[in-house]
Structure 1
């Protein structure tokens, strides 16, 4: 009987140790999300690398959260501490169910205020870029028609074929139909397709104009011309990271560390890093490390 009691006590002791170690590990762990795109993977790895450099915490990278909705749900459950790739336009409408705000500064202030009040999440200042829907042409087309802004297309639109993202073509609010009304133009034909195919079709002269993303790496590598959205039709998609107030309170040094990324990545830099991933096939973790090393991890210089 004593032997059985000893075994039971030993088992309970091991169980308690296991539970306590798990709690301890959880308290010592910070979870960071990336996503499924090159951009979100790179941003996630930048945050992970930065935290590993400045803290002794166990940083866990969750790189399978493919959308803002999944990241938001994980943060609300407490499974995710920091969502590295969040965009004002996406969360303003999709998460907060608020009207589109086309002024970038106002949109940022709204999401910061609403996320703090509704969810106790801190929406950080922008990395320094916005991943916008952007009309693009080749340099040859821009020169032929003297194109610098979207309105310049109006005179020639009925002669030109447009390629777009499949979902944007049917979307309400800021989709193709709303665009034609805002800009007062329609194209000869519109070809909805996967985003990855648009750029190759454009440089192969199978399309005259495409609607792409401003930070796509192929913008630079294909030397494309981005046309200014002069009527401000598209809402801003300013990129920032979001952290729970809980993890910031538990780790007071985090806010200062994460704020180091404010304004450090402009559109051209993000394009180049995306191209390194998509075209040169470099691992996002390596791209992130090289970026931080090139800036000495944003260490403050001592006099």
Structure 2
């Protein structure tokens, strides 16, 4: 069964909206005219992973709840994604991560225990925003430092602590949001590991893999499930001090939608523990390396697993 079994309206926002527009509480242009009681709006993101997860959720909702869906992609940050939910422009956020929402959205301290992190965000989102965190897809997409093989061999790098004696020689590219994030951002990292890089440059997360592979950066901070790690044969450095908190991926659904259409929550929960880190890397690789559209990757995955009908 394909995603178009019902009348599907898909919206892709091609340009990220300015932050001032989001913070002001304005709605996303065009959504009001395309949404109705039979259409569910789902936020994705700018990464292949976020767009795949949004398409997976879309497919499950359409398959089991007989609803059309609209996907809002290219939302550049968690803050913008969260604001879309608060504005009522979307009722489902498909790609949210415990560690990010814990520190960025909720403004709480990082939590090293995965279950404790999940329990905290679930409880706080229910109390503050009347939103429900559904169970994780089954993988943790944490930050990971990446270098080329020749760099790893030259400096003898296997774990992050190995960088201490050479960091002052290295240019690092990192996600802009990470540089200033409280707790598990750059300041916290320097305190935990006891060193700083020669130069640290903010980069859109999708560009860091090309940058390090092409020698424009010595080291970059990427995502552990990104398919481009395999594409470029990059070396992942072990976070031996366990600085980065767990980033278990899970969908969030508004309580209002769950109350009105409980079968939507039941449908999405079928995705619980169905994607491990290796599988997510494979799915991302299809998009980032083989240039397959995220919705096609998601559709194939659901069909191969019969929409997880046995779960």
Considering the TM-score relative to the shorter chain, is it more than 0.5?
yes
Out of 119, 122, 129, the position equivalent to 1:112 is 122
Matched positions, count: 278
- SS, match of residue 113 in structure 1: helix
- In the other structure, the counterpart of 1:96 is 106
Contact residue 125 and residue 259 of structure 1 kept, 8 A: yes
Gaps of at least 5 residues in structure 2 are 1-31
Matched, 1:221 2:231: yes
- In the other structure, the counterpart of 1:249 is 259
- In the other structure, the counterpart of 1:46 is 56
- In the other structure, the counterpart of 2:44 is 34
Matched, 1:58 2:68: yes
Q: 1:66 to 1:145 in 2, by over 3 A?
A: closer
* C-alpha deviation, 1:81, in angstroms: 1.7
Q: Aligned equivalents of 1:167 and 1:69: distance in 2?
A: 10
Deviations 1:183-212 (A, max 9, x none): 122334444444344323323344432222
* C-alpha deviation, 1:52, in angstroms: 1.5
Equivalent runs, 1:140-219 vs 2, <5 Å: 140-219=150-229
The normalised TM-score by structure 2 is: 0.79
- In the other structure, the counterpart of 2:92 is 82
Q: Aligned equivalents of 1:157 and 1:51: distance in 2?
A: 47
Contact residue 139 and residue 225 of structure 1 kept, 8 A: yes
Q: 1:166 to 1:107 in 2, by over 3 A?
A: same
The normalised TM-score by structure 1 is: 0.81
- SS, match of residue 84 in structure 1: strand
User: Larger deviation: 202-211 or 40-49?
Assistant: 202-211
Deviations 1:201-249 (A, max 9, x none): 3233444322222122211111212112121222322211001122222
Specify which structure has the higher proportion of helix: 1
Contact residue 71 and residue 80 of structure 1 kept, 8 A: no
- In the other structure, the counterpart of 1:139 is 149
* C-alpha deviation, 1:58, in angstroms: 2.4
Q: Aligned equivalents of 2:196 and 2:82: distance in 1?
A: 37
Deviations 1:268-296 (A, max 9, x none): 22222223223322211111101112212
User: Larger deviation: 95-104 or 222-231?
Assistant: 95-104
* Structure having the higher Rg: 1
Gaps of at least 5 residues in structure 1 are 1-21
Deviations 1:17-50 (A, max 9, x none): xxxxx9xx83333222222322211111111111
- In the other structure, the counterpart of 1:300 is 310
